[in-house]
Amino acid sequence: MCMKVARLASEAAGTSRSWSQLLRCGTHLLDSTHCVTQASQSVARCAVNVPSDLIPLLEKIKTAEGMTRQAVSATRDLMQCTEIISERGLKATELSNRLLQQSKELADTLQSVAGAEEMSSFACRTMAKTYEGLASLARETADATAAAAVMVGDAQKNAHVLKEILDKLQCKAKAKKETSDREDDAKGADTSSDEEDAETPKDRACSNRRLLLKLNTEVLDLQKEMRNLISSNPSLMPEIGVVQKEWIFRLAAELVEQTKWTFSMLGLHGENGPSTWDEAMQETLRVLQAAANWDGFATPALDARILRAAALVDANLLSKMLQDALQACEDSTPPGDTLDQGDARHRYLEAVGLLCRHGTAEAVAVHA
């Protein structure tokens, strides 16, 4: 799709209405590259996490009895996948970051010249060449993402095969015991089925909600206790290495770049996207406030959990990143948008302060 848009832009560069067509092509190209970036980052994160996700399965091999040739072969295939899957995931991440940066630069350029009715033929040709370069990078990113996705699929397939084999081995070793357990479970299932029939869906929903609230409260209490223990005695936790910190803040930087991207695209989508600074800020505030609500949400969304982890590792660095992002968002205010940003800015900075308060307190305790 990106290459098709770039070819259309090249063909339009020599026509009388080239500038207006180039602007439309640029908007479509940015939308396409944004989709590529989102997909690439998602696949890359999945690929990088695959080796750690497979550890529990590989641990089961140690206790498996009567390993067959088929089980050994499946284990070998799985290990071969894990050897190269992280490398492909890192390559997809690198290309995705480059694509995101170049897309941001092109969006800034288009925003600065969007009001012009016409440009010189040289400027049109230059813009078309820029589109071609960005489209080529998008294609390269998509290819790297596809390669990583293939390896993820292979790893999942091999893991599924190995899991089935290990389960069969375990079943054979405990056949008699499981037969007795199945009979007991069947009797228990009949009893629980009768009880469920007597319970209405509304009652079940209320019961589930009460259980979730109770679990949330228990987890919050445990999290608070752990933070207090670590704050008073940091040696209880192993030291976080440079590589671990780099990975956490690489994810946090991706979230910050996504926020900047939303504001850089203001006014380029018309009715299909945020038209005011305040609209674009709402989603950012929701994520930030959820992350900052340490005493309300035990397990918020993934984006908020990433920000919490970064705040615990280095609160000052995260606070600076988020404040710089706010400044960049304010600089992206479209001409004519006279909305008072004071309230949104106050809520944003308040959420940043609440988010980083635990990490800052722990840093003070460590230095003390």
Per-residue pLDDT tens for 272-305?
Answer: 556 677 777 888 888 898 889 888 888 888 888 8
- Ranges of H-type helices in 239-301: 242-264, 277-292
H helices then E strands: how many in the chain?
A: 12, 0
Tell how far CA 282 is from the center of its chain: 19
Let me know whether 164 and 278 are in one domain. Answer: no
Let me know whether 335 and 226 are in one domain. Answer: yes
Asked which of 152, 174, 196 is the last residue of a domain, the reply is 174
| pLDDT classification of 263: cutoffs 50, 70, 90 | confident
> What is residue 363's predicted lDDT score, i.e. its pLDDT?
44
Q: How many domains does the chain have?
A: 2
Let me know whether 153 and 14 are in one domain. Answer: yes
Q: How big is the chain, counted in residues?
A: 368
- Token digits for 121? 């033929």
DSSP for 113-171, written as a single string: HTT-S---HHHHHHHHHHHHHHHHHHHHHHHHHHHHHHHHHHHHHHHHHHHHHHHHHHH
CB 151 within 8 A of CB 84: yes
Instruction: Report percent pLDDT > 70 for the chain.
Output: 73
Asked which of 174, 197, 231 is the last residue of a domain, the reply is 174
CB 276 within 8 A of CB 339: yes
Other beta carbons within 10 Å of 187: 9
Its pTM stands at 0.46
Which comes out higher in pLDDT, residue 112 or 206? 206
Range of the domain at 123: 2-174
206, containing H or E segment = helix 201-232
> What is residue 367's predicted lDDT score, i.e. its pLDDT?
36
Let me know whether 286 and 339 are in one domain. Answer: yes
> Cα dihedral sign for 226, 364, 353, 318?
negative
Let me know whether 131 and 216 are in one domain. Answer: no
Is pLDDT above 60 for 183?
A: yes
Let me know whether 166 and 227 are in one domain. Answer: no
Whether 76 is covered by a domain: the verdict is yes
Whether 189 is covered by a domain: the verdict is no
Geometric angle at alpha carbon 110, from 104 and 113, rounded to 5°: 145
d(CA 135, CA 130): 9
Let me know whether 282 and 321 are in one domain. Answer: yes
- Token digits for 92? 């997809």
Is pLDDT above 50 for 362?
A: no
> What is residue 361's predicted lDDT score, i.e. its pLDDT?
44
Whether 187 is covered by a domain: the verdict is no
Amino acid at site 33: T
Whether 182 is covered by a domain: the verdict is no
Whether 288 is covered by a domain: the verdict is yes
- Secondary structure class of 24 (helix, strand, coil): helix
d(CA 5, CA 186): 61
CB 9 within 8 A of CB 26: yes
d(CA 95, CA 88): 11
Let me know whether 321 and 269 are in one domain. Answer: yes
pLDDT digits (tens, 9 = 90+) for 13-60: 555 466 666 667 777 777 787 888 888 878 877 777 777 777 777 677
Is pLDDT above 90 for 71?
A: no
Let me know whether 209 and 358 are in one domain. Answer: yes
Let me know whether 146 and 8 are in one domain. Answer: yes
Asked which of 153, 174, 195 is the last residue of a domain, the reply is 174
d(CA 119, CA 106): 16
> What is residue 352's predicted lDDT score, i.e. its pLDDT?
92
Let me know whether 231 and 129 are in one domain. Answer: no
> What is residue 365's predicted lDDT score, i.e. its pLDDT?
39
- Token digits for 45? 């994160």
